[in-house]
Amino acid sequence: MGNQEISKVIFKIVETITGIPRQHYVAASRKRKYVIARCLYINLMSIYSNLTEHEIAGKAKRERTTVIYMQNLHSDLMCVDKAYQQMFYACSDKYISMTVKDKTLSVDALKLAEKLDSLEKEINTLRNVLNNFKVTKTRVLNEQTTIAD
C-alpha cells in the first residue's frame, strides 16, 4: 500500500472513530475535538507510513513543527487521557485489521492495554503487601531484640 493510500485509509479511520469529518480536523481550529482528531491522524501516519514529518505535515495541511508538537502531545495524552488512549488503540487496531493479510497476526491492542493496566495494578498491590510484610518483620525483630536485652 502506497503512502497516498495509507493517508486516505487513516483519514477515513479517524473520521469513523471520532465522528469528525476530515475537513474539520484539517481546518485551522484549536477546538479540542479537532486537535485530538488531528493528533490521531498525525501519529498514525508517523507509525504506519514511511513519510517524513514534512510530508505528513503537508497531508495534514500543517507545518512540520505542528507534527512534532502533535507527537509530543500524543505521548502526554497516552499517559493521562484514557479516552484518547482508547481512540488511538481503536484506530490502530482498525488500520491493522484492514491491512494485515493474515488475520491471525492481528492483535487487539485495546485488550492488551487493559490487561497491562490490570497487571500493573496487581504488581502495585503485591509491592504494598511486600512492603507491609517488611515493616511487620522489622517490628517483630525489634521487639525480640528489646525483650532479649
pLDDT (tens digit per residue) in 57-67: 988 888 899 99
pLDDT at 48 exceeding the cut of 80:
yes
Alpha-carbon distance of 89 to 147, in angstroms, equals: 59
Q: Are 110 and 93 in contact (CB under 8 A)?
A: yes
> What is the SS3 string spanning 63-77?
CHHHHHHHHHHHHHH
pLDDT at 102: 53
CB atoms inside a 10 Å sphere around CB 101: 6
Alpha-carbon distance of 85 to 144, in angstroms, equals: 52
> What is the SS3 string spanning 24-43?
HHCCCCCCHHHHHHHHHHHH
Per-residue pLDDT band for 131 (boundaries 50, 70, 90) equals confident
Q: Are 58 and 7 in contact (CB under 8 A)?
A: no
pLDDT at 74: 92
Which has more pLDDT, 132 or 143?
A: 132
Which has more pLDDT, 38 or 132?
A: 38
Residue 131 has, within 13 A of its CA and on its CB side, a CA count of 6
Which has more pLDDT, 108 or 121?
A: 121
pLDDT (tens digit per residue) in 69-116: 999 999 999 999 999 999 999 999 889 888 776 555 455 666 677 777
